[in-house]
Amino acid sequence: MSTCLVTGGAGFIGSHLTDKLIELDHEVKVVDKLTLGKKKFINDEAEFYQVDLRNFSELKPLFEGADVVFHLAAEPRMQITIEKPVSSHNVNVTGTLNVLEAAKESGVDKVVFSSSCAIYGEQELPITEDSDPDPESPYGLHKLMGEQYCRLYSKLHDLPTINLRYFNVFGPRKLAEGGYPMVIPIFLDQKQKDEPLTIVGDGKQTRDYVHVSDVVKANIKAWQSEITNGKAFNIGSGIQVSVNEIADIVGGETTHIPERPGEMRFIEADISKATEKLDWEPQVEFEAGLNDLMEHWGVE
């Protein structure tokens, strides 16, 4: 049994990860300031601390005795990072630096950092980990800086780290007001309310969707792997799905709204590196996962 600390453990991915770690008989500390996370999502068997990552003096003592840190806490709303770059930088970059410093000082065995495909910007498809990063939003830049800090701490301080670049994660607990991308929960919310589905632009833009249960497995594989030097791995499905395709599956009337700045047009991950080095591959097929999610939402 290990002691695991999950930042952002009241959030969408973090709460699922917490549940799985507890199912595997690990002790879990959840750190979340509840900006986007929901207390109702936190497993009753976890220790919960409502702490802001920017407050190092409050954060540091929580790392004592932790074997692994899964760092998921962030300001993930791309538009917020564009509109409020300074405050979101403090959460995403300074917060990550505080996590790494606390982990180093506390002798944590490994930090698993949740990064994002937003670091890439427009790329030739499929996107590999060797693609030159070209973020189109502060959020993408923040995640890239977080990865670089992880690699630097591994190099300078021998702190084992690994970076997971999530593509577009979907599943239960993903809320319409949560972080980017939000098209699936927004569509389901609109469908529940019998409102038209709002398609951004022409709807031909694609994303690479990966189910939250597969992302949880990737985190655990990353922790258990021998990777310790901050290497990055794409965590996606390797399949493109367009907004129009999602609208067709959800069903109902649609309406179009203007495109937003800072968003990539087409996305598809090359996940061969994660398959080879982490012994991980996604198990949940997109349409089956979406149909299950629609049932979870009570959407017909």
Lookup: tokens for 156: 């300078």
Longest dimension (CA), the chain: 55
Strand order from edge to edge, sheet including 240-242: 168-170, 206-211, 240-242
SS3 298: coil
Residue 242 bridge partners (DSSP): 206
User: Which stretches does DSSP call E strand in the chain?
Assistant: 3-7, 27-31, 47-49, 68-71, 110-116, 161-166, 168-170, 197-200, 206-211, 229-235, 240-242, 254-257
- Among candidate residues 139, 153, 166, 180, the one labeled active-site is 139
Could you give the angle at the alpha carbon of 52 between the alpha carbons of 48 and 57, nearest 5°?
Answer: 95
Lookup: tokens for 294: 């629609």
CA 128 to chain centre: 18
Rounded Cα distance, 237 and 58, in Å: 38
Neighbours of 161 (CB within 10 A): 28
Task: Let me know if 180 is a catalytic residue.
Answer: no
Closest CA to 247 of 260, 256, 239: 256
Neighbours of 165 (CB within 10 A): 25
SS3 226: coil
Rounded Cα distance, 73 and 155, in Å: 23
Give catalytic residue positions. 139
